[in-house]
Structure 1
Amino acid sequence: MPQLNPGPWFTTMLISWLVLSMVIQPKLLSFTPTTLPPHVITPHTHTTPWTWPWT
């Protein structure tokens, strides 16, 4: 079964992983979002507990 022979595809996978982790990942992590979501402060509302009539 040729799928079990790592010779043809292992080098390609290793080089692809190294390119992804060393070149592309730092470029993606350097981006900052242009618009940050505003901090919304929700007021705390006081609620009354529910009383169950059957208990």
Structure 2
Amino acid sequence: MPQLNPNPWFAILVFSWIIFLTIIPTKIMNHIQPNDPALITSKEHKNNSWTWPW
């Protein structure tokens, strides 16, 4: 039974995991995020008191 012979399939498994763990993450991490977070100046909000009608 050829599917029980691990010689070609183990090498394919190892090389595919090497590709997944080395090449693909570096390509993904090289992308630039379009919306970089910017620092927002902190403003003090004016809190008006609410006069209750009763």
Q: TM-score, normalised by structure 1?
A: 0.48
> Which structure: larger Rg?
2
Q: TM-score, normalised by structure 2?
A: 0.48
